[in-house]
């Protein structure tokens, strides 16, 4: 009953969820750069490969097609809570992203019909346009006009501007709290400038903003170029011999957030006759946990792997991990857009384990420029790692070599029989 989609397209939506999450709760939320990889996502049954469902923060929602309750056509899509009590930071998200080549420089209206049943907090339609310098250039998620309670089918819309240099347009639906919401008959249309914008968030590029964004982008590109000197990391570069966060030429460390956080070689617990890297957190961190992940990473050029699926693995041991421990990878294109990812989201390690090899797999589309990978610890506990490997699993299918969707699809939310 469940259809799984290309990992590359899924990862694009993971990025979209990160920005949606920031806008939904607080514009001041500080999230770790790598937290995009930690959205818990699942897939609705028999949906096309352009709509994606996400459980954000916790797995408390489900989504799929409903052939009984529908506005028109043969089905609608729905999001429903699975538990009587929902974490206040959780929400279910059904979405689609594409390159808005037909909408750049124009004002667009995203409309849909929505029906709800006993929604306690809110259900809504949303849309967002991104540029390379402004990840959220224009955004509306009906935060000022949420749908609450039980309602019959009604039309709703968001109106946003799509900048001339927009590289992504995302839209969809979400549910916060308990209840159920159905969505049907989506449309995207160009409207004239006399049509009022909806929502409250429309970012403009001031001269100071442009200068700051360009400076940050130059820094990212310079940093990327430094790491991308290697086409394929050699076995020596994948080792942790003489590793230290401030001196290693191959591995880099993320931020140490709290007293008791550490990333260093452990000469007291050897793997074979070698000292592994130990990542440790001794004290609980304040919520959100994903904003305080302990990570380390290596970044390499993707050229040698283009058109292939690769496996990244490591020898791994965990002790008293309260939340999750995992390895992760993300693949980006020339615009630093994530086009493929895996982070063990549905199989992360919890508790304690003996030494074992764990692995992830990612597609490397033809547009890929770099691959970043490494281990991550969320919450308290200790994680030891050694012997990373990157291996090709073979050629991708032709349709998997190109990742970017350039037109929205299945806007009627019809069930393909």
CA dist 362 and 312 (Å) reads 8
Q: What's the confidence (pLDDT) of residue 390?
A: 87
Tell me the C-alpha distance between 56 and 91, whole Å. 5
**pLDDT at 242 (0 to 100):** 58
Contact 340, 330 (CB under 8 A): yes
- Ramachandran class of 410: left when φ > 0, alpha when ψ lies in -120 to 50, beta otherwise: left
pLDDT at 155: 97
pTM recorded for the entire structure: 0.55
* Nearest residue to 304 via CA among 405, 208, 392: 392
Handedness of CA 302, 304, 305, 308 (dihedral sign): positive
| DSSP sequence for 158-205 | EEEEE-TTEEEEEEEEEEESSSEEEEEEEEEEEE-TTSPPPSSEE---
| 3 state SS of 368 | coil
Query: Quick one: CA dihedral 96, 102, 104, 106, positive or negative?
Result: negative
Contacts of 245 (CB under 8 A, 6+ apart): 252, 253, 263, 264, 296
Q: Is 288 exposed, middle or buried (0-12, 13-18, 19+ CB in 10 A)?
A: middle
pLDDT at 206: 52
DSSP 138-155: EEE--TTS-EEEEEEEEE
Each of the 417 residues of the chain gets a pLDDT tens digit; together they read 223 233 334 444 444 554 454 445 433 322 222 222 222 233 333 334 467 777 665 578 888 888 899 998 888 889 999 888 887 778 888 888 888 888 999 999 999 999 999 999 999 999 998 876 666 788 999 999 999 999 999 999 999 999 888 878 889 999 999 999 999 999 999 999 999 999 766 655 555 655 565 555 444 433 333 333 344 555 555 565 556 676 655 788 887 877 888 888 888 888 887 888 899 998 876 545 455 788 888 888 888 888 899 999 999 999 999 989 999 998 887 666 677 888 887 788 999 999 999 999 998 988 888 888 999 998 899 999 988 888 899 998 776 655 556 567 777 767 654
User: Can you give the pLDDT at residue 332?
Assistant: 83
C-alpha distances (whole Å) from 168 to each of 15, 131, 136 are 11, 7, 10
- Residues 6+ positions from 214 with CB-CB distance below 8 Å: 133
pLDDT tens digits along 83-112: 888 877 788 888 888 888 889 999 999 999
pLDDT, position 260: 83
- Helix H or strand E segment including 65: strand 61-66
Structure tokens at 239: 């080792």
- Measured from the Cβ of residue 203, the count of other Cβ atoms closer than 10 Å reads 16
**Sequence-ordered list of residues with C-beta below 8 angstroms from that of 324, at least 6 positions apart, any chain:** 38, 344, 348, 349, 350, 376, 377, 378, 379
The answer to whether the beta carbons of residues 121 and 180 sit under 8 Å apart is: no
Whether the bond into 288 is cis, omega within 30 of 0:
yes
What's the pLDDT at 202? 62
Rg for the chain (alpha carbons), in Å?
A: 22
| Nearest CA-CA partner of 46 in 1, 95, 92, 96 | 1
Integer Cα distance of 27 and 22 in angstroms: 6
pLDDT computed for residue 301 by the predictor: 83
* 307 close to 416: Cβ distance less than 8 angstroms: no
Cβ(111)–Cβ(155) under 8 Å?
Answer: yes
DSSP letter for 274, please: B
Neighbours of 142 (CB within 10 A): 21
Q: Classify 222 as helix, strand or coil.
A: helix
Query: Among 308, 302, 254, which Cα is nearest to 281's?
Result: 254
How much of the chain is helix, strand and coil, in % rounded to 5?
15, 45, 40
Report pLDDT for 53: 76
């Amino acid at each position: 009953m469940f259809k799984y989609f290309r990992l590359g397209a899924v990862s694009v939506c993971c990025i979209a969820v990160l920005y949606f999450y920031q806008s939904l709760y607080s514009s001041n939320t500080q999230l770790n750069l790598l937290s995009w990889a930690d959205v818990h996502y699942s897939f609705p049954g028999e949906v096309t490969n352009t709509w994606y469902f996400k459980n954000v923060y916790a797995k408390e929602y489900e989504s799929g097609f409903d052939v009984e309750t529908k506005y028109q056509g043969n089905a609608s899509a729905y999001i429903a809570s699975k538990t009587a009590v929902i974490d206040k930071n959780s929400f279910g998200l059904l979405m689609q992203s594409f390159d808005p080549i037909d909408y750049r420089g124009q004002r667009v209206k995203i409309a849909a019909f929505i029906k709800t049943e006993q929604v306690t907090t809110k259900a809504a339609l949303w849309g967002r346009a991104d540029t390379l310098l402004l990840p959220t250039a224009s955004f509306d998620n009906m935060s000022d006009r949420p749908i609450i309670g039980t309602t019959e089918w009604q039309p709703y819309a968001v109106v946003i501007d799509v900048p001339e240099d927009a590289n992504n347009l995302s839209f969809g639906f979400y549910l916060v709290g308990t209840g159920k919401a159905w969505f049907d008959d989506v449309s995207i249309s160009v409207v004239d400038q006399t049509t009022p914008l909806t929502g409250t968030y429309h970012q403009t590029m001031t001269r100071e903003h442009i200068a700051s964004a360009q400076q940050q982008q130059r820094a990212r590109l310079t940093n990327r170029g430094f790491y991308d000197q290697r086409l394929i990391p050699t076995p020596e570069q994948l080792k942790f011999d003489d590793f230290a966060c401030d001196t290693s030429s191959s591995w880099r460390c993320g931020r140490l957030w709290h007293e008791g956080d550490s990333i260093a070689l452990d000469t007291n617990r050897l793997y074979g006759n070698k000292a592994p890297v130990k990542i440790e957190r001794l004290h609980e961190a304040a919520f959100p946990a994903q904003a305080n992940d302990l990570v380390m990473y290596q970044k390499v050029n993707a050229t040698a792997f283009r058109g292939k699926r690769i496996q990244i693995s490591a020898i791994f041991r965990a002790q008293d991990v309260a939340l999750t421990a995992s390895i992760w990878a993300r693949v980006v294109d020339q615009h630093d857009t994530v086009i493929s990812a895996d982070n063990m989201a549905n199989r992360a390690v919890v508790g304690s384990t003996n030494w074992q090899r764990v692995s992830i797999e990612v597609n490397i589309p033809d547009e890929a420029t770099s691959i970043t990978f490494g281990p991550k610890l969320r919450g308290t506990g200790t994680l030891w790692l050694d012997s990373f490997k990157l291996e090709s699993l073979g050629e991708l299918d032709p349709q998997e070599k190109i990742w970017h969707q350039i037109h929205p699809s299945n806007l009627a939310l019809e069930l393909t029989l």
